[in-house]
């Protein structure tokens, strides 16, 4: 009886730790999305988006955001939590500048409605990742290979300019990023259950930021894929 009670207590403690860690991750993710959205809207409203897309700054922002993701992923264990926090916020700002250009192509109403659709799909898959008893770790390699294929096909289609390839990659992209959402949420939940909350503030903050970055990327990329279907063109 005592062993069973201890087992229940440990299990409950793991669940509580996972819940606290997940809350921190989602708070960081929400902050990042909020910063990106505000910067994107403000930049578009000020008229700077048109200057960005017609200047070398557009390419600089694209490479800069990509570089920050790789840097954070590679150096997270060697930098301070405060540095990681600043880099994540900076990344969110740069993404806001970069994505301000979507307001030049799509109407504000269609962007807002697509955001709501994205939030609904993301939320549903996040809940699935939280509550499912199925081990989703096997999805990782499959989804990663699909992501690599998607990137290659997208680059090739820049030169081919094939509408068919465009729509197929868009559909595949939706499946990949919805799958990654469930996979990443379950992975983050396991991090909470496996003791990251006992490793100190530095580890918790850096773990939260990396988890938030993964979910932020899932959300943003899912949004961009859905925008291809639901975005109303300004043309």
**Total domain count, the chain:** 1
In a domain, 201, yes or no: yes
pLDDT the model gives residue 195? 76
Does residue 9 register a pLDDT over 90?
no
pLDDT the model gives residue 46? 96
In a domain, 189, yes or no: yes
pLDDT the model gives residue 6? 45
Tokens matching residue 85: 């926090």
* CB burial of residue 98 (10 Å; 0-12, 13-18, 19+): buried
pLDDT the model gives residue 206? 95
CA within 13 Å, CB half, 52: 24
Which domain range does residue 167 map to? 2-230
pLDDT in tens, 131-160: 999 999 999 999 999 999 999 999 999 899
pLDDT the model gives residue 17? 83
In a domain, 46, yes or no: yes
In a domain, 235, yes or no: no
In a domain, 182, yes or no: yes
Helix (H) or strand (E) holding 213, with range, is helix 201-230
pLDDT in tens, 11-50: 677 788 888 999 999 999 999 999 999 999 999 999 999 9
In a domain, 20, yes or no: yes
Q: Are 140 and 183 in contact (CB under 8 A)?
A: yes
Location of structure tokens 């799909």: 121
Dist CA 40 CA 35 (whole Å)? 8
In a domain, 21, yes or no: yes
Q: Are 187 and 207 in contact (CB under 8 A)?
A: no
Does residue 121 register a pLDDT over 90?
yes
Does residue 234 register a pLDDT over 50?
yes
What is the value of pTM for the model shown?
0.92
pLDDT in tens, 91-114: 999 999 999 999 999 999 999 999
Tokens matching residue 136: 């989703």
In a domain, 211, yes or no: yes
């Amino acid at each position: 009886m005592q062993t069973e009670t201890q087992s229940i207590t440990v299990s409950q403690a793991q669940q509580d730790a996972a819940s606290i860690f997940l809350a921190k991750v989602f708070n960081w993710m929400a902050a990042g999305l909020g910063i990106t959205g505000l910067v994107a809207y403000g930049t578009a409203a000020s008229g700077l988006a048109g200057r960005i897309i017609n200047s070398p700054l557009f390419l600089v922002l694209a490479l800069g955001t990509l570089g920050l993701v790789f840097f954070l992923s590679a150096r997270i264990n060697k930098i301070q939590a405060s540095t990681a926090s600043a880099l994540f916020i900076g990344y969110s700002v740069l993404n806001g500048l970069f994505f301000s250009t979507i307001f030049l192509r799509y109407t504000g109403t269609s962007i807002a409605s697509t955001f709501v659709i994205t939030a609904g799909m993301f939320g549903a898959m996040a809940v699935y990742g939280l509550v499912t008893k199925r081990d989703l770790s096997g999805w990782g390699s499959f989804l990663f290979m699909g992501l690599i294929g998607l990137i290659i096909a997208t680059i090739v289609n820049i030169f081919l300019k094939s509408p068919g390839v465009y729509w197929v990659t868009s559909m595949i992209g939706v499946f990949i990023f919805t799958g990654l959402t469930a996979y990443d949420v379950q992975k983050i939940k396991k991090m909470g259950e496996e003791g990251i909350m006992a490793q100190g503030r530095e580890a918790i903050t850096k773990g939260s930021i990396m988890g938030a970055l993964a979910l932020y990327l899932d959300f943003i990329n899912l949004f961009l894929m859905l925008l291809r279907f639901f975005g109303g063109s300004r043309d």
